[in-house]
Amino acid sequence: MTVSLKRRLPEPLLGAIRQARARSRQLVRWSGRELTHTLTCGIRVSITSASDWAVYNEVFVDGEYDRAIHTVVAASVARPLVVDLGANVGYFALRFADLWCRERASEPFELISVEGAAHTYAQLQRHLDQPAIAGRCVARHGLVGQRTGSAWICTSALTGMNSIRTRQSFSRTEVPFVDLERLLPSRPISLLKCDVEGAEEMFCESYPDLLRRVATLVIELHPQITDEDRCRDLLGDAGLVNHKILRRYDGGSVEIFSRE
């Protein structure tokens, strides 16, 4: 009698097998390949994996964050501060810089990107280390959620799914949390984007004062591993009361919040 692997193996091991298979398929498809595109402002975008390609399409083709970005571009704030939590390989930062430079190329902005997975962070650094955005976009390595301590981040062939809340793979590393109150300048935040794969409730609980400085927030909520209603309540307590769902998908939603 044949017994399926699904019945015999524990879920963490099954997850590891699935990730190994996905990683091997991606390596075969993308090995030695790199797609590049230079935006009109001179920024170079690089795509080196199927994961990059999926996120590139969300950010640059579908314009998932464009509505939020345009609120900053259209505002009269001088040198706005933009924060990207869970930056992945940096496409949000590059999209913001591209749209900003189309309208306000001669004016400065400050964008800080935070990423917890070491390999992904290295890709983020390469994307932000370009003359067109030198001095405007910076990368910082660390986890977002608590203000102190550390956690194990589980990494995936799909870098957008790297998480401290799920165990889809045995590939994991212990990484310190960053204290955003110490990291970020103590001034208003024009736009904050948060995509931390299940740690969003932890972030909202840890940073009520920081959230009161945010004018517009875009957050990805993952109801299977976090309490999305609790997140919305905490954002409302911080004064982020204007709310709209930008996109729903199988694993959650992308939502925008702003002040009245």
- Confirm whether 66 is domain-assigned: yes
**3-state DSSP assignment of residue 175:** strand
The pLDDT, as a whole number, for residue 2 is 44
- Cβ neighbors of 62 (< 8 A, separation 6 or more) are none
31-47 average pLDDT score: 87
The pLDDT, as a whole number, for residue 28 is 46
The pLDDT, as a whole number, for residue 250 is 86
169-175 average pLDDT score: 76
Take residue 174 and report the two structure tokens written for it.
């212990």
**3-state DSSP assignment of residue 241:** coil
Maximum separation of any 2 CA atoms in the chain, in Å: 71
pLDDT digits (tens, 9 = 90+) for 114-157: 999 888 999 999 999 999 998 899 999 999 999 999 988 877 66
58-77 average pLDDT score: 96
The pLDDT, as a whole number, for residue 1 is 46
Instruction: Decide: residue 240, CB within 10 A, 0-12 exposed, 13-18 middle, 19+ buried.
Output: buried
- Confirm whether 3 is domain-assigned: no
Is residue 18 scored above 80 in pLDDT?
no
The pLDDT, as a whole number, for residue 163 is 65
Residues 206 and 248 sit within 8 Å (Cβ to Cβ)? no
Residues 50 and 38 sit within 8 Å (Cβ to Cβ)? no
Is residue 14 scored above 90 in pLDDT?
no
- Confirm whether 148 is domain-assigned: yes
DSSP run (H or E) holding 236: helix 228-237
Is residue 165 scored above 90 in pLDDT?
no
Q: Give the CATH number for residue 191.
A: 3.40.50.150
- Confirm whether 150 is domain-assigned: yes
pLDDT band at 33 (very low <50, low <70, confident <90, very high): confident
Is residue 167 scored above 80 in pLDDT?
no
What is the rounded distance in angstroms from the CA atom of residue 55 to the CA atom of residue 210?
Answer: 27
The pLDDT, as a whole number, for residue 63 is 96
The pLDDT, as a whole number, for residue 70 is 97
- Confirm whether 1 is domain-assigned: no
Is residue 23 scored above 60 in pLDDT?
no
Q: How far is CA 39 from CA 17, 43, 54, 101, in A?
A: 38, 5, 18, 10
Take residue 7 and report the two structure tokens written for it.
């019945």
pLDDT band at 8 (very low <50, low <70, confident <90, very high): low
Q: How far is CA 214 from CA 22, 95, 142, 188, 238, in A?
A: 38, 20, 21, 6, 9
- Confirm whether 2 is domain-assigned: no
State the pTM of this model: 0.85
Domain extent, residue 97, equals 8-258
68-79 average pLDDT score: 96
233-239 contacts at long range (C-beta below 8 A, 24 or more positions apart): 234/201, 234/204, 234/205, 234/208, 235/204, 235/211, 237/208, 238/208, 238/211, 238/212, 238/214, 239/211, 239/212
Number of compact structural domains in the chain: 1
- Comparing 8 with 246, the larger pLDDT belongs to 246
